Structure formats: structure tokens, C-alpha cells
Structure 1
């Protein structure tokens, strides 16, 4: 019996049951949930890093975005608030669109 011990998407248990398989699961407490969202984000970002095609990259970015939505729910906030913070930071410091890469800064 494979042991997973990880956060899964909400419908995975339905899919396992539909395949006629038995499983053990539990609902995480909010603090645990947030910890597991962070762990899963690391996993998905690693998978994004390993992509070699546009299709694979978009699939992994979608997983990252889904995890961000889950984290927002744990923090009892929403995507609009996150987007407002993103826009404010972009206006103040810029985004990452230009691909600028800092090598060093001369000391005074």
C-alpha cells in the first residue's frame, strides 16, 4: 500500500473511491493546512522548474495558482486583495517583466 502523507486536491478521494480502492485520510487543521500548502508549493515550483514544454509549464503554473487560492482561504482573504498588493508593489518597485539581472553594486 503506497503511503503519501501529503496535501491532495479536493476530489482525489472521490476518484480513488470510484476506482474501488480504500484509503485513509483526514482533514487538516488550519495551521497544518497552511504548512502543507507551503510544502506543496515547493513541490509544484520544482515541477515547474523541470518543465520542458509550454503545456507542461502552464499546467504547473495552474497548480501553483490553485495553491495560492487555497492559502488565501486559510488567511481568510481573497484574490482581489492579493492582486491589489501585487499591483501596489509593482507600481513602487516594478515587476519582473524586463528580465533584468543584477550582478553587483559598487560600494560607496
Structure 2
């Protein structure tokens, strides 16, 4: 039986159950949950980086967004407030639309 030891979406046990396969799960405590959410964020971002076409990229970005929503919820912040903070930072420091790539800055 393959082992996974990773955080999965809420309906995955139901989906596996419908196949008739046996499986084992556990409910994570708060400390385990945030640790696994952080790991999952890297996993999903890597899948986005490795996407080979636009459709795959969109699917993986949706997964990244789902992780961001879960992280915001864990930190007891609404997605709307998170967007406000993002906008405040964008107003102060800009976004990434201009594609600026910093090469070097003179040392003092």
C-alpha cells in the first residue's frame, strides 16, 4: 500500500472510498496543520513552476490560491483583508507588472 503522509483536500477520503480502496487518515492538531500547510504551499508552487501549458498553470495557480486561503483562515484573517494588505504593499512598493529585474546596487 503506497504511503503519502501529506495534507489532502477535504473530499479526497470520500473519493478514495468510492473506489473501494482502504485508506488511513488522521486529523492534524493546530501545530501539525500549519506545518503541513506550509509544506503543501511549496508542493503546489512547484507544480505550478513545472506546468507545461496554460491550462496546467491555471489549475496549479488555483491550488496555490486554495492554500493561501487556508493559510489566511489559519491566521484568522479574511481573504478580503489579505487582499487589502496586498493592495497597500502594492501602493507603497509596486507590483510586478513592469517586469523589472534588479542586477546590482552600489555598495556604500
**TM-score normalised to structure 2 length:** 0.96
| CA distance in structure 2 between the partners assigned to 1:12 and 1:52 by the alignment | 25
Q: Which residue of 2 aligns with 1:61?
A: 61
Residues in 2 aligned to 1:70 and 1:88: alpha-carbon distance in whole angstroms: 21
**Structure 1: 5+ residue stretches without partners:** none
| 1:1-108 pair list within 5 angstroms | 1-108=1-108
Quick one: distance in 2 between partners of 1:106 and 1:22? 61
Query: What's the secondary structure of 1:91's corresponding residue?
Result: helix
- Taking the aligned partners of 1:15 and 1:76, their CA distance within structure 2 comes to 29
RMSD: 0.8
SS in 2 for 1:57: helix
In the alignment of these two chains, the number of paired residues is 108
4+ aligned runs moved over 2 Å, structure 1: none
Measure, in 2, the Cα distance between the counterparts of 1:34 and 1:20: 30
